[in-house]
Each structure stands twice: as C-alpha cells, then as structure tokens.
C-alpha cells in the first residue's frame, strides 16, 4: 500500500503520550473525526487518481476506518444533518463497491479503476466535501461549536 500526504499528516498529528493525551474531550475527538472523514471524502472525490496514488486496498479500507462495512452509519460527529446525509450517500456507494461481485476480495488498482466505481463515486464525494467545506474544518487542538478554519487542509 502506498502512503499519501494526508496519511503522513495523520501519523504526525497523533497525540503524544502523557497527561495531555489522556484528557482529550469527547467533543475534540468528534471534531477530529469529522476532519478525518473530510480527508477520506476528499480522496474519493479525486476518482481514479486517488486509487492510483494510494493503492486499491487502501482506497477501500481507509474509508471503512470511519464507516461500517454494512448498514447505516450511526455516528456523525460534529456534522450538520445535511452533511451527515451527504456523507451517508458516499458510504452507500462504498458499501456497493464491497458488494459488487465483479470486484475480487483483494483487487488490483486496475480492477478497481476498470470497474468504474471511483469515477461514479467522485461526484457524490465532491458534493459532500463541498458541503462540508462551506463550514470549514474544526480545530485539532481546542473545542469549537463551529469550524474555525476555512482552509481545507492544514
């Protein structure tokens, strides 16, 4: 699997061990999860290019780090109802990829791109991302009621 810039960023942002890491509030976790979901949605909005950059297995599995393989996601941290609905549509498409009998259990990049799924998902993901970007990103360090950063990625 290939490493993307965002994955490297996530690894750098992990909390350092110690008292501060133990005191992370539930709200701050929710904000960070929304930010991570935005990053996954951004990747999916790039269609085939994202599959080619991160690899076929990572393309699938990194999304499901934040969503269930089956059924409705039931936790949309720090999202509005409209954002949750838009993200749910992306989730349904990704679940359809898993259910597609034409896609092997361990597909290659070529098998995924040839399936057409990345390009079908891309516009739906772009719509969800655009909606989330209207509000912006939450702080990774302090609790907020609304996102404070209009910059998509740090």
Q: How far is CA 92 from CA 75, 82, 86, 101, 146, in A?
A: 15, 16, 10, 16, 27
- For 89-115, the pLDDT digits (tens) are 999 999 999 999 999 999 999 999 999
Provide the terminal-to-terminal Cα distance of the chain, rounded to the nearest Å: 24
Residue percentage of the chain with pLDDT more than 90: 74
- For 58-101, the pLDDT digits (tens) are 999 999 999 999 988 877 889 999 999 999 999 999 999 999 99
The answer to the question of residue 98 being in a domain is: yes
The answer to the question of residue 117 being in a domain is: yes
Residue 92: CB partners within 8 Å, gap ≥ 6?
A: none
Structurally, the chain folds into a number of domains equal to 1
Distance CA 134, CA 81 (A): 14
Q: Which residue has the tokens 């890491």?
A: 21
The answer to the question of residue 59 being in a domain is: yes
The answer to the question of residue 9 being in a domain is: no
The answer to the question of residue 19 being in a domain is: no
* DSSP per-residue codes, 7-55: HHHHHHHSPPSSHHHHT--HHHHHHHHHHHHHHHHHHHTTTHHHHHHH-
The answer to the question of residue 107 being in a domain is: yes
pLDDT at 100: 97
Residues spanned by the domain of 30? 24-135
Is the pLDDT at 118 greater than 70? The verdict is yes
The answer to the question of residue 94 being in a domain is: yes
The answer to the question of residue 3 being in a domain is: no
């Amino acid at each position: 699997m290939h490493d993307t810039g965002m994955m490297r960023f996530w690894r750098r942002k992990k909390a350092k061990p110690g008292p501060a890491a133990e005191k992370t509030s539930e709200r701050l976790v929710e904000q960070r999860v929304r930010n991570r979901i935005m990053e996954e949605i951004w990747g999916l909005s790039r269609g085939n290019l994202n599959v080619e950059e991160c690899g076929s297995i990572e393309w699938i599995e990194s999304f499901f780090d934040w969503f269930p393989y089956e059924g409705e996601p039931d936790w949309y941290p720090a999202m509005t109802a409209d954002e949750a609905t838009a993200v749910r549509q992306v989730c349904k498409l990704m679940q359809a990829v898993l259910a597609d009998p034409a896609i092997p259990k361990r597909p290659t990049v070529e098998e995924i791109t040839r399936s057409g799924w990345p390009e079908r998902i891309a516009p739906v993901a772009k719509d969800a991302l655009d909606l989330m970007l209207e509000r912006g990103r939450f702080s990774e360090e302090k609790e907020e009621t609304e996102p404070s950063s209009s910059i998509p990625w740090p």
